[in-house]
Every structure is written in C-alpha cells, then in structure tokens.
Structure 1
Amino acid sequence: MNRKYTQEHIDYVAANIQGCPFKELTDMFNRRFGMNLKVSAMISLADRHGLHNGRDTRILPDGTLLGVETRFRPGLTPWNKGMKGFNCGGKETQFKKGNKPANWVPIGSERVNGDGYIDIKVDDGKLQKNWKGKHILIWEEHNGPIPPGHVVIFGDGNNRNFNPENLLLVSRAQLVRLNQMKMIQEDAELTKAGIAIADICNKIGERKRAKV
C-alpha cells in the first residue's frame, strides 16, 4: 500500500534513526503518529530518504542485511588494545563456571548489530545493556559522557573508521538537518563544515517560526 509521508514523518525518522534498531524505530514511529507501519515499510522509508545506518550495509525490503558478518568470530583483537585506563565496568565473574549460556561471549567481545554498527560487550546479565556501540565507547573515552539529546556520527560516513578525529558529536536537530541536506560527506572536515551550515539553517528556521 502506498503511503504519503509528511515532512514531519521524515524529520522524526532522521532525528531518531542513529543507532536505533529498525524494529524499535518502527514502534516509536507508530506510537508517535498513531500509525501501523511494518518494519519493512520503515526500512523502505529510510532508504528512500538516504537515512540508512551504515554505508557498508545494504538492507533489503524484507529486513535482510547484505554484506554484514553478524556471527562473533573468536580471536578478534580487543577493540581497546593500547587504550590505557579504559574500564568497561563489567564483572567477568558474573556467571558461575558451568552455567554460561550457549551463546555467551566474554566482556570485550565484538558483534555487528542489526543496523551494521559494531557493538562491544561491556557487562554480563543486563540484557540489552550488556552491549554498547564501539564508536560511542571510543568517543566517551576521549571526551566523557555523551550529553542528552546528542549522538555520535562518523565524520566520513564510514562506520568502520574509529579514529577519534572521525567521531563527531552532533545534536539531534543538527542530525536532522545534515540528513535533509545530505551533508555527511566522505571527508570528516567537510562534514564538520556541514554541521556549521546546519546550525545556520536551524537558526534561520527558528527566527522564521518566531515571526509567525
């Protein structure tokens, strides 16, 4: 069934898609607008407006991910090798010997989540809180906690480039504008310039609304 989405619909998706699984995003969208979209429809909407999570992943309309290895591979080099002072905060002895689930992996293990981002296991026994985005952990290691209403993006659009200089903090309002104007480039410096332009555009929008 063809649907006509408003700019408010598109802006909402753009503001919330970063790091948000498509099923969760679909549920949020349906609650916000009183609609009954399927996950496949949300993926299609995001695809049409260039709002995919991760440049290296292609998502089919049925939700299938292509080009992503989702199985944990033993022997991966720890993500924080060489980073002094980082403490994941987990308890490696949470599970007693012989009682670990079949799919258990140790703290520090990596996985690729459903949106193509790499997660790091930081704790045991806390379900979804066991894992955290690798880019988020690296940004916070260098800068401290992410402020409310902000997200970390990859400056060059490559979600495998974890150089701290490539990880940029933006507000959700900035992210909406960046996605609308397609200003997340393949060069972090150009994306930084795009963030400045986004701020100007948002200020202009605020002044126009204030005059109404």
Structure 2
Amino acid sequence: MPSWRWNHRSLSRNMGMRRLNHSSRRCWNRDMKKLLSDEQDAYLRKIAPGRSTKECVDALNERFNAHFTRVQIQNYKNNHRILSGKNCWEFVNHKKHRKYPEEIRNFIFENYKGTGHKKMSELIKEKFDYDMTPKQVDSFYGNNHLNSGITGWFKKGIVPKNKGKRLVDYMSPEMIERSKPTRFKPGQMPHNTVPVGTVKELKDGYLWVKINNQLKPKSKRVNWKPLHHIMYEFYNGPVPEGHDVMFLDGNVKNFSKDNLEVITKAERLYLNRHNFISSDPTITRSGLVLARMMNKTYKRKNQNGK
C-alpha cells in the first residue's frame, strides 16, 4: 500500500479521535453543569468567597436538602472557576493540630534564651511532668526559629576556672593520684611517633622521609622532607630557594640523577599550560627549555612596558 494513503488514513483517524475527544469533553462539561441547578449554582457562587469546600457543601446540603459530597463540589468549583479567594492552608486550624500543649509551648517561648535542648527537656519534665526529649526540643527550636544563643564555643577573652590555681585548689587528693599515670612527662613523645629515617607514601604517591623529631614543629617540612629533594641534594647540592624538584618522566618513584630537575613555579605553569610534560625525559627537558624561554620573554615584555 502506498505510504501516502497510510498517512492520509492516519491523519483522518487522528482527526476523528480529536473530534471524539472534543465532543466527549463537551458532553462531560454539560453533565457537570447539570450537577447543580441554576439556583444552586448562583448560591454556590455567592457563598464560595472566603469559605472552604467543606463549608460550601454543608451550606448547600442544608439549604437545598441535598446530598452533595465534597469531591463533587470541589470538581464543580474547579470546572467552573469558582474561587474562594484563599489558599488551602488558610482554612486549617493550626492550633488544633499542634503536637505539644499550649502551656508547654508558651513556657519554651519564654525561657528558650540561654537554655539548651537538654536543660529545657529537664525543665519541662520538672515543671509539667511531660516527657519531651532533647531531640524533640531541638526540632521545636528549629521549626519555630528559636535561637538559644548557646554555641558551645569558647568566647574571646574567657578565663579558665583553674587559671592561677594549683591542683589541690580544685581537685581532691584521690583525683590527683588517679591523674598522675595519665599526665605527659617533660620530653615525652606521642605513642604514634615514628623514628627518624622512616619513609612514608602520601596519597599522591610521593615519598617523604622523617629527618627530625621536634615535638611542636612550625611546619611539616621541619620533621619531614620529600625523598626526591633529598636525592637531588645528594646528586647536585642544595635546592635553590624558590625552586622545586620535578620528575622529568612523571614517575615519582624514579630517583635517578637524569630524571630530577629543579624548576620554578612559573616554569611549571608553562609546562602544564602547554602540555610540555611527557613520559619521555628528553621531550620534557625540551619542553622545559621552551618554558624557560617563554617565561623570560614574558618578564622582558613587562620590563619594557614599565
């Protein structure tokens, strides 16, 4: 069968279905209009503003001695654009559906400032003999946007209670004796201290070596040092200030002399920006030469511009 005939029949079929849908919709609307008489329709339009559907149903059934349901009237109002002028939640009596008694709510509103969840739970239990858990108090605070002002932080300038006091001033002799075994002794090292010379691997694959054992180092590099820095210094001497050591082939476990090279941050920027880094050390070294030329050119242009 030719395709145009099939398309023509499909078009006719679709148009027929559309006519059927329109006709059925008109019949449905006509049937819905018959749900209420003209007098009932006029009365519903008169009482609908400011009233809920349930109130309209009760008024209609009482006035006309009918048995309309809430669903029927709700659908009728929707189909005929009869509006109440209010949102659905405005018809709900929130006080009726509150979980906690009004006296407890008022007590919380009056005393929440400076009172935490646990303390408030104890006060409610003591005053009203009502079980309200700290978690429920927390939820109540959050739902009603109550902020007790308690953060749990040490405020700036706060003075510890034991400042300037001896142990005997705020601890009993028994407590002092029990605390002696757990005190830190001068020079005592933490239990997880590792010896100098320990090598550890970080998440990025780099190896670090422990070179010192200071108790309170100002930075990580006081006690630990990258192994490739140590190997470069072993081959070539100290790393210049402001420079870093890179692996030319990208293998962080290859510590051979020909694979380690010092570069600046600017040179590393050009290497990464122009994809000059390769798994072949020769190609990476050539890219490093280009990166240094580009960096010097940039500096020269800035000097001339000034």
Q: State the TM-score, normalized to the length of structure 2.
A: 0.35
* Larger strand proportion of the pair: 1
Q: State the TM-score, normalized to the length of structure 1.
A: 0.50
Larger radius of gyration: 2
The one of the two structures with greater contact order (alpha-carbon pairs below 8 A, sep at least 6) is 1
